[in-house]
Amino acid sequence: MTNEIVENQELISQSIRELSERLIRPYSRQWDDDQHFPSDLFRQLGEQGLMGMLVPVSYGGSGLGYREYVTAIVELSRVDGAVGLSMAAHNSLCTNHILLFGNEAQKQTYLPRLATGEWLGAWGLTEPNTGSDAANMRTTATQDGDYWVLNGSKNFITHGKSSDVAVVIARTGPPNTQHNATAFIVERRTTGFSGGRKEDKLGMRASETAEMLFQDCRIPDSQRLGEVGDGFVQSLKVLDGGRISIAALSLGIAIGAYEAALVYAKEREQFGQPIANFQGISFKLADMATDIEAAKLLTYQAADLKDAGRPVTKESAMAKLFASETAVRVANEAVQIFGGYGYTKDFPVEKFYRDAKLCTIGEGTSEIQKIVISRQILK
C-alpha cells in the first residue's frame, strides 16, 4: 500500500468523521425513534461525493476504490448504522449494478444522477417467499414486442418507497432453472411501479425498508441490463462487492459500540475506582478490540483484492461473516459493560445492539456465507 493511498484514506476518514458529527449524531436518536428516513441527508452526502464513490469521474462520481469506500462506510456507521446501510445499498447495489452491467446509454442516463445524490437508488432481488432461494422468484417479466411487462413484488428493499430508480431482477424463464432471471432498470415514475408496506424494524430504523410492487408495469427493452437470463449471475457479482460493504457497515457499528464502552468503562466508578480496572471488564474490552482488528484486516483485504481486480468471492464472504458476527458480539458486550444504563435509550449502545443484528442477515445470512466459503475452499 502506497503512502498516497494511506494519506487519502486518512483524509477521507477525518472528513467523514467531522461530517457525521455535524449532520448525523445530533439527529440520530430522533430518526431512530420516529423511524424517519432522512432523504435530505443523502442529497448532502451526494454533494460530498459519497453517493458515487466507485463511479468514475467521467460519470459524475468520485472515482475512488473499495479501500476508500470501506473507510467511508465505517465512519458513517460508527455514528449511525442506518445511515451507513443506506449509503452502502445505494452505492454497492443499484449504482454498482448499472456501472458493472449497463450499456453506455444507461450509464450516461443514470450514473450521474445517482452519483451526485440527485436520485436515490434501490435494488430488488428478495421476495416474500424467496430469500436465499432466488431461482424460485415469483416476480416475472414477460416480453411483449419491444417492451417487458413486470408483475410481482419485492420485499425487504432498502429505499423501496423513496428511491427514484431501482434495479429489479425478475424471472424470465421457468422456476428453478438456470439463467431464468433478467435485470431491469425501473424508474419510479413508471406506471405500475409503486412502493408498498414499510417495515417496522428492530434496528436500522432510519434506513427505509419497504416493498416494491409491480402490476402490469411496462418498460421498454432499452431498460434491460445485459442479456436475457443473466440477471442472477449479475446479482452474484454485485453481491461480492456488496458483502464488502456489509463487512464495513459491521466494522463501523462494532467500533462505535466499542468506543462508547471504552469511554464509559474509564469514567464509571465502583468500589472507588473505574470499572475498567476490574479484570472482568478489561478482558471484555481486550476481546472486543482484538475482534475488531481481525474484522478490519479481513474487510480491507477483500477491498484490496476487489481494487486489484482479483477474485473476491471467498474473501468477501469471510469478511462479511466475521465482521457481522463481531458487530453482534461487541455490541452485546458493550451493553453488558454499561449494565442497566446500556439497556436504556439514554446511552448509545442499545442502538448499536439493535442495529448490529441486521448485518448477520442482509445480503446473505451468516449461514449462506458459510455455504459460499465452503464451496470455494472445496473446489
Q: Is 273 exposed, middle or buried (0-12, 13-18, 19+ CB in 10 A)?
A: exposed
Closest CA to 122 of 106, 134, 107, 110: 110
Catalytic residue list: 363
The count of residues in the chain is 379
- What's the CA gap between 349 and 335, in Å, rounded? 6
**Angle at CA of residue 128, ends 360 and 142, nearest 5°:** 125
Question: Which amino acid is it at 69?
Answer: Y
Distant-in-sequence, close-in-space partners of 230: CB < 8 Å, separation ≥ 6: 101, 179, 182, 183
CA 333 to each of CA 40, 156, 231, 288, 328: distance values in angstroms, whole numbers, following the listed order: 34, 28, 41, 8, 9
Is residue 330 within 8 Å of residue 272, measured between CB atoms? Answer: no
Give buried/exposed letters for 216-228 (b at 16+ CB in 10 A, else e). Answer: ebebeeebbbbeb
Give backbone dihedrals phi and psi of 60, rounded to 5 degrees, phi first. 90, 5
- What's the CA gap between 158 and 161, in Å, rounded? 8
DSSP-derived 3-state class of residue 375: helix
Q: Is 171 exposed, middle or buried (0-12, 13-18, 19+ CB in 10 A)?
A: buried
Q: Please compute, for residue 4, the number of CA atoms within 13 A of its CA located in the half-sphere on the CB side.
A: 1
Question: Which amino acid is it at 79?
Answer: V
